[in-house]
Structure 1
Amino acid sequence: MTDFVNPIIEQRADPHIYKHTDGYYYFTASVPEYDRIEIRRAKTIKELNTTSELINAWYKPDVGPYSDLIWAPELHFIDNAWYVYFAAAPSREIVDGLFQHRMYAISNRNANPITDEWVFEGQIDTGMDTFCLDATSFSHKGINYYVWAQKENGIEGNSNLYIAELETPTMLKTPPQRLTIPEFEWEQIGFWVNEGPSVIHRHGKFWMTYSASATDENYCMGLLYADEDSNLLDPASWHKAEQPVFRTNWDKKVYGPGHNSFTVDEEGHDLLVYHARDYTEIEGDPLWDPNRHTRIKRLEWENGFPIFGDAI
């Protein structure tokens, strides 16, 4: 079994690791400057920290609707092309308690995405012109799905989770369906937040993790799940855990674990990828503290259900 020394990559928040059919691991994450999309690849997860195969695939422009706060990029291979989903804002201005992010994509049709051939695809329109971010995608039975976090007018809080079918990798085919809102106390500490969804398909079910509350030591992860044969676009197909499945480990000083992704190690075992801090004394807004580090641990299964264990 592969052993990891945490953190595996420092100062990289919202980490996303994807193992492609070419045998490479691909890594994207938010950088502390929030000004670009960085992509790395390596033959092993450990080598992602030191690999020379690294590019800045896209830089934010100086002005315009997507010229600031580049958040939470995710690299996906859909319909034989590479796509990075990300969120960006026109400025750092907060309006009615929210940043002004919208979701965008870049694409690359080269077999190796560690090239400068990335093309800006524009905004992904959900039909709701509100704060949105943290898009991810998964496929099932020939259908590509898009899952993300967004503010919905009339619902208290910063963001809820939504799902839709994709017509193309950058265009929705169906209207958004709301899966969850921050309804429990542990989802409402500091901010009312459901964000950062990630999906894994195992044991006849789709498991969707997400993150909740403010991005300090209160940040934690919740869980939705649906049967693989159910209508995944129907919110009634999804069941929600009433308690968080992953949260601060005070004994080990791993604070605010969240915004995870899933991958597998070299032997094929499931892994949980997440970020966390190793201190709580944050000066100012936690968002500007650069020390959310990428961490990793083995994801266990028991009776078909994921066992997340303690943050390490």
Structure 2
Amino acid sequence: MQLFNLLVVVVVASAQNINNGGSSNFTNVGTNSTTNTTYSNPIMTLNVGDPWMTRYQSNGEGWYLFTYSTNDNVTLKRSQSLTDDWDHAEERVVFNPDPDSGLPYATDLWAPEIHNISGTWYIIFSATPDHDAPPPLQDAMCPFECPAVNHRMFVLQGDGPDPWTSNFTMKGMLNTFDQFAIDGTYFQYNDQLYHIYSCWENTYSAWPANLCITQLSDPWTVVSNLTDRRMISVPNEPWEQVPYGRAGRLATNEGPEQLVNPTTGQNFVLYSAARVNTPFYCIGMLELVGNDPMQYQSWKKHTDGCVFHQNTQAGVYGTGHASYTTSPDGSEEYIVYHALTTPNPPCKDLS
């Protein structure tokens, strides 16, 4: 497999001190304001997960657009510099549901992504109506505790060409067959659109978390039925499991993102493996080796281990849920990911 080099790494870090769990004192964040030629990681120190960044043009100006899990709403940030201090970048809340409404997207909004598809901006995210506290009898249906059993995928649609000034309204819920779904993304191949997301094998299986794919007729309409849905990756490698090599509970594939080699045209899905609130959270890789993404035989997993993982010497752990963008001139590829500053994070699920 040939994967083009990601030349520069950008960190979105969880601001947790290694010693006491308090806020870390980052002396330099983002671009060096004195020289504007270098930057310091992290570029954002807020305790957030699931960063998503893309680039767009508006009125002849180039902008980076950034979103992440706030848990309560969908917030966009923007800057003309990729390596800005994103703690203080301009921001705008574009979707803010009432948490007491009981609507299926009312609480625990996770992993929003913003995509331009055929000239229209869409935001895809997961949410649940119940603060991840399902009724006890529903939770009892699962072999393990399953607070996220009611998480589903939703789509917002913008009403204009500029995402920063667009109004976003609820377009609908993506059909995941009334089963657990988080971390959904769009995958485009041969003029066809697909939905890849983290799924369970059935409604109450709880673990492991796998990667499923369905076909779309538009960004909010699934045309596959349940028997057409395919699991294209299951966490069957020991490095995808927590503890190492223990199959079943805490074995995870999530956070899928499409990555295309601009030179060879190869299509990859980079995904998060292991468990988000452990230092072992890392990035695995699938390559599309067939001509039909809806067939699991078309996908080949890189089985030698994580392709991106913790650096204990640098004090960076739990490197996962990445997105990918370029420098303004398109000559460099960047990875934007979240990480932890401690190998023993508190028990908080950021996925």
* TM-score tier after normalising by the smaller chain length: 0.7 to 0.9
The 8 Å contact of residues 160 and 166 in structure 2, kept in 1 or not, is answered as no
Number of aligned residue pairs: 284
Q: Does 1:276 align with 2:339?
A: yes
1:17 corresponds, among 53, 60, 67, to: 53
Name 2:327's counterpart in structure 1: 265
The 2-side partners of 1:251 and 1:36 are apart by 35
The 3 A distance-change label for structure 1 pair 182 and 42 is same
Structure with max Cα Rg = 2
Q: Does 1:63 align with 2:111?
A: no
Report the 3-state secondary structure (helix = DSSP H, G, I; strand = E; otherwise coil) of the residue aligned with 1:236.
helix
User: 1:232: how far off?
Assistant: 2.1
The 1-side partners of 2:55 and 2:251 are apart by 33
TM-score, normalised relative to structure 2: 0.75
The 8 Å contact of residues 159 and 166 in structure 2, kept in 1 or not, is answered as no
Of residues 107-116 and 79-88 in structure 1, the stretch that sits farther from structure 2 once superposed is: 107-116
The 8 Å contact of residues 42 and 48 in structure 1, kept in 2 or not, is answered as no
The 2-side partners of 1:282 and 1:232 are apart by 36
Q: Does 1:93 align with 2:142?
A: no
Q: Does 1:8 align with 2:43?
A: yes
User: 1:51: how far off?
Assistant: 6.2
User: 1:110: how far off?
Assistant: 1.0
Q: Kindly indicate which of the two structures has a greater share of residues assigned to strand.
A: 1
Q: Deviations over 1:180-229 (max 9, x none)?
A: 111112112051111000111112310111111221212111110014x7
The 2-side partners of 1:137 and 1:72 are apart by 13
Name 1:307's counterpart in structure 2: none
The 8 Å contact of residues 87 and 134 in structure 1, kept in 2 or not, is answered as yes
User: 1:150: how far off?
Assistant: 0.9
The aligned runs of 1:228-267 (5 Å cut-off) are 230-242=291-303, 243-267=305-329
Of residues 204-213 and 112-121 in structure 1, the stretch that sits farther from structure 2 once superposed is: 112-121
2:73 corresponds, among 36, 40, 44, to: 36
Report the 3-state secondary structure (helix = DSSP H, G, I; strand = E; otherwise coil) of the residue aligned with 2:110.
strand
The 2-side partners of 1:235 and 1:24 are apart by 37
The 3 A distance-change label for structure 1 pair 158 and 166 is same
The 8 Å contact of residues 152 and 160 in structure 1, kept in 2 or not, is answered as yes
The 8 Å contact of residues 157 and 182 in structure 1, kept in 2 or not, is answered as no
Report the 3-state secondary structure (helix = DSSP H, G, I; strand = E; otherwise coil) of the residue aligned with 2:161.
coil
Q: Does 1:130 align with 2:168?
A: no
User: 1:155: how far off?
Assistant: 6.3
Q: Deviations over 1:86-128 (max 9, x none)?
A: 00012221523221211111110211122361111121112x2
1:103 corresponds, among 153, 163, 169, to: 153
The 1-side partners of 2:221 and 2:207 are apart by 26
Q: Which amino acid aligns with 2:239?
A: W
User: 1:84: how far off?
Assistant: 0.6
The 8 Å contact of residues 64 and 82 in structure 2, kept in 1 or not, is answered as yes
2:112 corresponds, among 29, 54, 73, to: 73
Q: Does 1:121 align with 2:165?
A: no
1:179 corresponds, among 226, 232, 250, to: 232
TM-score, normalised relative to structure 1: 0.84
Report the 3-state secondary structure (helix = DSSP H, G, I; strand = E; otherwise coil) of the residue aligned with 2:297.
helix
The 2-side partners of 1:80 and 1:25 are apart by 17
The 8 Å contact of residues 208 and 234 in structure 2, kept in 1 or not, is answered as no
Q: Which amino acid aligns with 1:250?
A: T
The 1-side partners of 2:230 and 2:57 are apart by 31
The 8 Å contact of residues 132 and 159 in structure 1, kept in 2 or not, is answered as no
Q: Which amino acid aligns with 1:117?
A: N
The unaligned stretches of length 5 or more in structure 1 are 293-312
The 2-side partners of 1:48 and 1:208 are apart by 28
Of residues 4-13 and 98-107 in structure 1, the stretch that sits farther from structure 2 once superposed is: 4-13
Name 2:21's counterpart in structure 1: none
Name 1:300's counterpart in structure 2: none
CA RMSD of aligned residues (A): 2.2
The 8 Å contact of residues 181 and 194 in structure 1, kept in 2 or not, is answered as yes
User: 1:4: how far off?
Assistant: 3.6
Q: Which amino acid aligns with 1:43?
A: Q
